[in-house]
Structure 1
Amino acid sequence: METDRFEALIDAILAIIITIIVMELPLPVNGSWEALSTLGYEFGIYAVSFIVCFNFWNFNNNVFSIVNRIDAKVIWTMGIILLIFSLLPYLTIFVAENFHTFFPQFLYGLSFIITAVLSMVFLELLKRADPGNIALQIGMSSKPLIGTVILVLIGMAIGYLAYPPAIIICCLLSILGIWFIPLLSHK
């Protein structure tokens, strides 16, 4: 099966998720810097969620730039990933309104972990669906996703024991690591 329409569907769903997150941002009560500064957590978690969405889009864009064929297993696995990912607007609000509480942060991190694990499964299914694609077989590794899971689990431990926002900080750090570690290793 060709990938163009499937890529377009993923892009559309991610655009909707980002739109919902933006629409849930509260407006400042007036046009002052003080009113804007009161939205610190809400805007901060929005920024993290936007980066999460952009990173997921970038991941899929990079993967599908080399994929030639997909099958039903690939489609359904991505459907499940998008189902989990579609909770991001709700989790963004939940964390923004309860920033220093463990449970909302834990759910945000858990969605991150589930998405990473399912993405690893997704990559393996892609490789099986397109076995002759050498670029896919060699170029797509699950190592960054494993690093994500480990880092978010560390954040969950710190969040449970001491500082709940450590979870969302680790989510953000894992994304930055995925972007910058390959750049540093090529120097």
Structure 2
Amino acid sequence: MEKNRLEAFSDGVLAIIITIMVLELRVPHDPSLRALAPLLPIFLSYVLSFLYLGIYWNNHHHLLKACRRVNGRILWANLHLLFWLSLFPFVTAWMGESLFASAPATLYGVVLLMAAVAYYILQSLIISEHGKESALAAVFGRDLKGKLSPVLYAAGIALSFLLPLLADAIYVAVALMWLIPDRRIERLIATREIADG
């Protein structure tokens, strides 16, 4: 099955999610810079979520670019991932408006964890479709960041009950860890493009 519609649909959904998120940034009625101070927590939660959505979009793009074909299970796994990503505007707004309180930080961590699990499922199904001995399977190898992230999210969730700001620091650290792109997929894509002529 062709992957073009899956890519286009996913890109559209992510664009809508980001648009919804930015609409939560309300313009103050006071023209002074002081009026921006209460918006700082909302803006910081927006920046973190925008960063996460950018990371997911980037990795999703590379994953699908390296993928040759999809099947029905991959389509459902992709929808599963998009479901969790679609919750970002809600948890982002709640965390920012509550000044990073415990319950919102917990729920934010749960959404991060479930999105990571959903991405792992999608990645595993795509690798399975292409074969365990495929170049795509070899590229992902041990996937240390992919395995470490859920552990850190779980730690953040546990800490959010007592120290929500420390939990938030863990969520920021995981995002920063993912900012360094994985060049293995880019090399695989470049190799394929050269081979395809």
What are the Cα deviations for residues 45-70 of structure 1, in whole angstroms up to 9, with x where unaligned? 01111111101101101111210011
One-letter code aligned to 1:22: V
> 1:59/1:133 Cα in 2 relative to 1: closer, same or farther (>3 Å)?
farther
Q: 1:29-108 residue pairs with structure 2 within 5 A? A: 29-108=29-108
| Other-structure match for 1:150 | 151
Tell me the TM-score normalized by structure 2: 0.85
Aligned residues: 182
**Larger mean Cα displacement after TM superposition, 170-179 or 106-115:** 170-179
**Larger mean Cα displacement after TM superposition, 150-159 or 51-60:** 150-159
Tell me the TM-score normalized by structure 1: 0.89
Q: In 2, Cα distance between the equivalents of 1:62 and 1:172?
A: 22
| Other-structure match for 1:165 | 165
Q: In 2, Cα distance between the equivalents of 1:155 and 1:132?
A: 33
Is contact 2:152-2:174 (8 Å) kept?
Answer: yes
Is contact 2:45-2:95 (8 Å) kept?
Answer: yes
Superposed CA RMSD in Å reads: 1.9
What runs of 5+ residues in structure 1 fail to find an aligned partner?
none
One-letter code aligned to 2:52: V
Question: Structure 1 residue 181: deviation in Å?
Answer: 8.4
Matched-pair identity in %: 27
Q: 1:19-30 residue pairs with structure 2 within 5 A? A: 19-30=19-30
Q: 1:39 aligns to what SS in structure 2?
A: helix
> 1:70/1:133 Cα in 2 relative to 1: closer, same or farther (>3 Å)?
farther
> 1:133/1:178 Cα in 2 relative to 1: closer, same or farther (>3 Å)?
same
Is contact 2:103-2:160 (8 Å) kept?
Answer: no
